[in-house]
A and B are shown apart, each in its own frame.
Chain A
Amino acid sequence: GDSVTQMQGQVTLSEDDFLFINCTYSTTWYPTLFWYVQYPGEGPQLLLKVTTANNKGISRGFEATYDKGTTSFHLQKASVQESDSAVYYCVLEEGNYKYVFGAGTRLKVIA
């Protein structure tokens, strides 16, 4: 079946650092890809999505490019703030509105 891989379990940065969270996916078709963010004590919420290969999604200063060639959907932000501390999930829609989540990357930003 389809799968999503996030190798970084935890990332620790200082404010104003550049953020890069790695995500690769495996599927036999052209999925819709998402990043969800989960703050402590809450359910996940949508950060951004991209439905078309080779397009970029942008939201709240975060961006991710759907790269079909490398099957990647890395999340980036130029300058993180303490309020960005959360868990970030890379997600793939594998058809029929069924979603596959990566293991998540916990971001800690130190002021």
Chain B
Amino acid sequence: EAAVTQSPRNKVTVTGGNVTLSCRQTNSHNYMYWYRQDTGHGLRLIHYSYGAGNLQIGDVPDGYKATRTTQEDFFLLLELASPSQTSLYFCASSDAYVYEQYFGPGTRLTVL
């Protein structure tokens, strides 16, 4: 069964802090995604990637960096966290041609 894991599951930081969210997939999928989920907005795409070393800009990229180090691992970096980045973050993976995304359990980030 497809598996996407995220760590940490919960994170609290202060304004200006440095945060890294991690995602690993064991599906051998090409594509990986980072979304944020906020009430009234659904899921919004931050960044995505189609392979190691590749990065594509999503719809809400400001204040976020991302890096895909291997086919399995995709990281989201907040170098100067702000309260507006308080949200529930989901990672997903998918394979070309299948058009199904598999989501992780989410990371709840609070920026004080």
Contacts and interface: CB of A to CB of B under 8 A. Distances in A.
Interface of A: 1, 6, 9, 32, 34, 36, 41-46, 49, 51, 89, 93, 96-104
Contacts of B45: 98-100
B16 to A, nearest CB: 29
B86 interface: no
Interface string B77-92: 0000000000000101
30 contacts: A1-B59, A32-B99, A34-B99, A36-B101, A41-B105, A42-B105, A43-B92, A43-B103, A43-B105, A43-B106, A44-B43, A44-B90, A44-B101, A44-B103, A45-B102, A89-B43, A96-B56, A97-B31, A97-B48, A97-B94, A98-B45, A98-B48, A98-B58, A99-B33, A99-B45, A100-B45, A100-B59, A101-B44, A103-B40, A103-B41
Interface string B8-51: 00000000000000000000000101010000111111001010
Contacts of B104: 43
A104 B92 contact: no
B42 A43 contact: no
B62 interface: no
Nearest to B41: A103
Contacts of B96: 97
B56 A98 contact: yes
Contacts of A97: 31, 48, 50, 94, 96, 99
A6 B41 CA distance: 10
Given A46-B100, A51-B99, A93-B99, A101 B105 contact: no
Contacts of B43: 44, 89, 101
Contacts of B103: 42-45
B42 A104 contact: yes
Given A44-B90, A100-B45, 5 more contacts: A44-B43, A99-B45, A101-B44, A102-B42, A103-B42
A46 B101 contact: yes
